[in-house]
Amino acid sequence: MLGCIRQEILSGVRSHDQFQKLRDHLRAFPDEVLQTKDYEQAAEFFNACRQQGIQGSNTDFLICAAAANRGYAIFTTDRDFQQFQSTLGVTLFSR
């Protein structure tokens, strides 16, 4: 799991007890170590999408880059990733 994904999942949890329970469950998934090439690829993805008029967050492009560099599919319900897929060729997990 990427640390930024862990942060997104845990952000906004209302009660401290729920936060701790979710945090503890997520600890079963180790953090993927990101490399310089992941950040560079994320910037390239940002620029490529921007040229196509597609907006996204730095975190979204970092997720795309980490997945692309490792051959992973992205598991998401965020429709923005469908737009990224058309430009970047990232793979989305399908059921």
Q: What is the tens place of the pLDDT at every residue in 12-40? A: 999 999 999 999 999 999 999 999 999 99
pLDDT range class, residue 43, cuts 50, 70, 90 = very high
Is the pTM higher than 0.75?
A: yes
The sign of the dihedral angle between the CA atoms of 23, 39, 71, 46 is positive
**Secondary structure (3-state) at 32:** coil
DSSP H/E element including 46? helix 36-51
State the average pLDDT over residues 64-82.
Answer: 95
Distance separating alpha carbons of residues 85 and 36, to the nearest angstrom: 22
Contact (Cβ atoms closer than 8 angstroms) between residue 85 and residue 76: no
Residue 56: half-sphere exposure toward Cβ, Cα within 13 Å: 30
Distance separating alpha carbons of residues 27 and 80, to the nearest angstrom: 27
| Domain(s) of CATH 3.40.50.1010: residues in the chain | 34-95
pLDDT range class, residue 88, cuts 50, 70, 90 = very high
> 34-95: which CATH topology?
Rossmann fold (3.40.50)
Q: Is the pLDDT of residue 50 over 90?
A: yes
Contact (Cβ atoms closer than 8 angstroms) between residue 63 and residue 4: yes
pLDDT range class, residue 53, cuts 50, 70, 90 = very high
pLDDT range class, residue 46, cuts 50, 70, 90 = very high
